[in-house]
């Protein structure tokens, strides 16, 4: 291995997920020299969430990229539904939101990330290094001054005014920085799998369906992305009972024809998401800040993770672009980012925890387990609440807007 290379940049971002790429793009657009490092060679991963909510669509609109974005393959939902007592109930309605694009766009995350990377690459002051894994943060006198990354060819030291940890829910940046994580127990896991889409299937774009609930169905065009909600740590037990027992479990809750589950050949056709809700007690240290899942892992309820990550990126760029460009970044600027994004994060997590606990209470015994959770019963009773749910899900508790800036492309 050859000797270490050193790169100097103004801002180095760890992780090219939605948060990292959007931040890199916005900072480059605002004239900041920015380097994003990503440990993978490409964006092709397992299912990671496909939901591009109205708040994110608004950001894309404000960036003038809507036509390019909508040219990519996607499906749309103006409403989300769930099954209750054999009938379909609208649980979130986006059709009256005060934004231009009143729908959720379902788009594979790799397409979205490739799109952001391509847009960002138009700026000469944007650099994306793939297959570059962060191994250490570099510090001097208590201040973070950069990152060390490992590529297949060499180790690279990156000097920067600011390090941004956007490296997801298992962030090495937040661990190495010694930031304190507060966790909130949520005892569930989601088993994700694909089932083919065929003529005569239900007309769902995304929903909890089935008489016992706990099954999510997302229309991915040619197939259904399906998620089965199970109690935490029970997947090993489920696996020990074999694939046939698992197929039956899925068939019992799925609205698709029972024989569709034959497509699950083995547990290799599934992937497990441990549902975790946590957040950092403080998102920053001198010279470093975390955003997106690295600052707060969300439950999949409402599919808000990608969208909160994007909102964090917009707020971070709005607050930090000028101080970074002008070389006057202060701790107070980092504190201002946390202050701005802390309320929507806490409020969303609180809502997710309330929804989970209402679901748990409903599952006191097997009979009750068959009913839908309390919040769905509430919306079924007062349909106007579907608009409120649509607003909270689609726009969040605090929607960010892209600051006008002179384009530096």
Ligand X SMILES: Cc1cc2nc3c(=O)[nH]c(=O)nc-3n(C[C@H](O)[C@H](O)[C@H](O)COP(=O)(O)OP(=O)(O)OC[C@H]3O[C@@H](n4cnc5c(N)ncnc54)[C@H](O)[C@@H]3O)c2cc1C
The answer to whether 293 contacts ligand X (rule: CB under 6 A) is yes
Q: Tell me whether residue 15 or residue 54 sits nearer to ligand X (CB atom).
A: 15
State both tokens at 130.
């793939």
The answer to whether 204 contacts ligand X (rule: CB under 6 A) is no
Instruction: Specify the stretch interacting with ligand X by CB under 6 A; choose among 45-53, 123-131, 155-163, 379-387.
Output: 45-53
Q: Which helix (H) or strand (E) holds 119?
A: helix 109-120
Q: Tell me whether residue 307 or residue 325 sits nearer to ligand X (CB atom).
A: 307
Q: Tell me whether residue 145 or residue 147 sits nearer to ligand X (CB atom).
A: 147
The answer to whether 306 contacts ligand X (rule: CB under 6 A) is yes
Q: Least Å distance between CB 83 and ligand X?
A: 19
The β-bridge relationship of strands 155-159 and 5-8 is parallel
Give the CA distances from residue 56 to residues 72, 87, 393, in Å, rounded to whole numbers and listed in that order: 15, 31, 12
Instruction: Specify the stretch interacting with ligand X by CB under 6 A; choose among 90-98, 174-182, 294-302, 384-392.
Output: 294-302
Binding residue for ligand X (CB under 6 A) from 30, 172, 209, 290? 172
Q: Tell me whether residue 16 or residue 144 sits nearer to ligand X (CB atom).
A: 16
Q: Tell me whether residue 106 or residue 246 sits nearer to ligand X (CB atom).
A: 106
Residue 96 CB coordination number (10 Å): 11
Q: Least Å distance between CB 194 and ligand X?
A: 12
Locus of tokens 């894994």: 133
Q: Determine the Cα–Cα distance for residues 294 and 181; give it in Å rounded to an integer.
A: 10
The answer to whether 108 contacts ligand X (rule: CB under 6 A) is no
Q: Determine the Cα–Cα distance for residues 277 and 340; give it in Å rounded to an integer.
A: 20
Give the number of residues written for the chain. Answer: 409
The answer to whether 292 contacts ligand X (rule: CB under 6 A) is yes
The answer to whether 213 contacts ligand X (rule: CB under 6 A) is no
Give the CA distances from residue 401 to residues 57, 310, 329, in Å, rounded to whole numbers and listed in that order: 11, 11, 22
DSSP 148: E
Binding residue for ligand X (CB under 6 A) from 31, 54, 168, 287? 168
Nearest residue to 23 (alpha-carbon basis) of 15, 50, 168:
15
The answer to whether 48 contacts ligand X (rule: CB under 6 A) is yes
The answer to whether 91 contacts ligand X (rule: CB under 6 A) is no
The DSSP annotation for 250-316 comes to: HHHH-SS-GGGGGG--SGGGEEEEE--EEEESSSEETTEEE-GGGTEE--SGGG-HHHHHHHHHHHH
Q: Tell me whether residue 31 or residue 292 sits nearer to ligand X (CB atom).
A: 292
The answer to whether 396 contacts ligand X (rule: CB under 6 A) is no
Q: Tell me whether residue 328 or residue 350 sits nearer to ligand X (CB atom).
A: 350
Contacting positions for ligand X (CB under 6 A): 14-20, 37-40, 47-51, 133-134, 166-168, 172, 192, 273, 292-294, 298, 300, 303-307, 309
């Amino acid at each position: 291995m050859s000797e270490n290379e050193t790169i100097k940049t103004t801002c180095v971002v760890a992780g090219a997920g939605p948060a990292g790429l959007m931040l890199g793009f916005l900072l480059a657009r605002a004239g900041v020299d920015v380097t994003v490092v990503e440990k993978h060679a490409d964006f092709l991963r397992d299912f990671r969430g496909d939901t591009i909510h109205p708040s994110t669509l608004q950001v894309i609109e404000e960036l003038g990229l809507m036509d390019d974005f909508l040219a990519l393959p996607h499906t749309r939902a103006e409403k989300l539904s769930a099954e209750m007592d054999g009938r379909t109930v609208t649980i979130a309605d986006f059709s009256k939101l005060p934004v231009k694009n009143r729908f959720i766009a379902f788009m594979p995350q790799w397409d979205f990330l490739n799109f952001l990377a391509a847009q960002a690459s138009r700026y000469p002051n944007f650099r994306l290094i793939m297959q570059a894994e962060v191994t250490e943060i570099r510090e001097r006198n208590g201040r973070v001054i950069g990152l060390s990354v490992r590529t297949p060819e060499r180790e690279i030291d990156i000097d920067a005014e600011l390090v941004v940890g956007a490296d997801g829910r298992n962030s090495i940046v937040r661990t190495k920085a010694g930031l304190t994580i507060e966790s909130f127990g949520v005892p569930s896991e989601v088993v994700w799998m694909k089932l083919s889409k065929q003529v005569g299937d239900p007309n769902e774009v995304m929903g909890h369906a089935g008489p016992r609930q706990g099954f999510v169905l997302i229309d991915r065009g040619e197939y259904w992305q399906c998620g089965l909600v199970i109690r935490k740590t029970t997947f090993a037990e489920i696996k020990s009972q074999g694939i046939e027992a698992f197929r039956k479990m899925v068939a019992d809750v799925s609205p698709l024809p029972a024989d569709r589950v034959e497509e699950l050949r083995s547990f290799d056709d599934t992937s497990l998401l441990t549902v975790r809700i946590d957040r950092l007690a403080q998102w920053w240290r001198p010279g470093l800040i975390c955003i997106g899942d690295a600052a707060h892992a969300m439950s999949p309820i409402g599919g808000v993770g990608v969208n909160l990550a994007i909102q964090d990126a917009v707020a971070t760029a709005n607050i930090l672009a000028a101080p970074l460009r002008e070389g006057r970044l202060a701790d107070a600027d980092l504190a201002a980012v946390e202050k701005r994004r802390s309320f929507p994060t806490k409020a969303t997590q609180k809502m997710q925890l309330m929804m989970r606990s209402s679901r748990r209470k409903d599952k006191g015994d097997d009979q009750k387990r068959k009913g839908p959770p309390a919040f769905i019963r509430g919306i079924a009773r007062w349909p106007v609440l579907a608009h409120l749910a649509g607003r909270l899900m689609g726009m969040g508790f605090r929607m960010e807007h892209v600051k006008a800036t002179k384009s530096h492309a």
